[in-house]
Structure 1
């Protein structure tokens, strides 16, 4: 058997590169068309109503622009599955045309055929992190700014949008409307409590603004402070109440977190998401910020891992002939892996497992599994086509 050596830009690599890329692009186009069709079926009427356009060309441009913005959100969701299914399709054609048998009988081993997968995996990995870290947040930001589509409604950042919100903090409970651009509170009703939940004070104000270093300034309101031990009686009274023009209070409320309150962590720009992930230990949604910060780096490995597993399973199960049962098994494995990736990220978002485990484990396991299966196929007699030599 020949010694192992990759030929990154040889003729065989270029041929397989074009074949794999063509199948992956075709599968991704089909998946995106299906996803966009379902999206428009659900939101088409609202989108047309939001446009305010009366002429058909203007309406078509409006819907077309929305679809382009939605693509930035859909591509990173579907690319791992599309890379698996596209490469699986390509492997099926290699079996049907007997090209794999001819190549193996010529002495080229599975590992010596890795170069096209590695090259495509590198490109798709960069596409994945570009979409996750830049294109998706930018596209969602445009929809929010223009109040376009479902994101424009759900994540509306105009002052007071969404009405009153309840915010639970250590030793504090806040009811207020949010001025998102200014990172401030409006119509504030703040309750001070003990760790056991006993009320020790209450502050009401027209507005609250951050001063930095964990201090907030509240304007035009009143404050009630309970008795020292929290138990009112006739001798010590029921606490002290007073009006104020300005009141400063130490409050563990992060202005940046307030600005993005209600927006999913996956849609926050990378720079600000990094800041939120750095202070995750003191934020209510800390695990979600930390998880999606890691996702934007870990998923650079995901397309490669999915393609390695797809290629290895195809060589093992349909290397000699294409059987319906084997095809279904490989296809369902790809879907199961796609679901597993999402479940792992969800578990990280809700703090059930550490963010590093939720985001890095699956891509690394996929790459390790794919390489392990290919190493097994290196061994004499392991390849299904070996008997045909």
Structure 2
């Protein structure tokens, strides 16, 4: 989409000036401006990156990493700040939910494209896919899948900027494996990053909450004790009052809460352990009515249970024991319909689409049903 090229232009203009951008775009042979919701060929972006490397005399990996860092800030300035913050309470959850974000943006962009360009069927966003694994030593392995080769160095820039801004941690990312995998769309680049992270209390945060190291030490002790005795609201008021009297800084809601946690506990909260009941407290019939589009299947893809509405649309599901891949195909992520592929991307958002040939005659001329979950 044009949003990417607009961001690249903004980076060049902001850091190197209008003249550099003009020289860059002329050498790349591209237009001066881009429509946010219009789809452009990948070659345009690749040409811009290639010419930027030559004009600036900087290696491609450095240009892409800088672009990744800037892209994160550009997204925040473009109104996606709150959306990005909802992706997770820690870096692991943030990465885990990136695919869901791309899926939402794909729907959003298509809807806006349809509104802007009537009678033109918009191309679906061909976004990269992410999978993350925790290691025993606290590090993570980030799996990056993309149909576009050579852009993987954008990832450390984006993830590093998000880690520092949202979670106040500095990370390092190195490529530990790089392969190409056969997917339904052809060769897909698969990059594995080793992500190591170290909690920090950055100078930026320190300046916001104190004007001296003595103030910081006193605040840590006093507020740490206070959080054990008083509720969160009082602690928040303490931070705000002391911040305004000693070193006046206007803090956002997010920074205030982050400051409370950081000063009181020494690090950001990294998640929680949920509690599950020993058994479900609703019967099967209520479950199937309450979740009318759900499906339960085993490792052989045999359907064991289905909601009432999906049974009505796909009557074949009423035959218990039929295989799910007989009636559905996986639209996203682009993986084979096997239990191993589903387990590999278990935290990604899946999109199932009904197979036209398996639908009742009355449904065959209608758009196929898509299930997202």
Same fold (TM over 0.5): no
Higher helix share: 1
User: Normalising by structure 2, what TM-score?
Assistant: 0.23
User: Normalising by structure 1, what TM-score?
Assistant: 0.22
Greater RCO structure (CA 8 Å; 6+ sep):
1
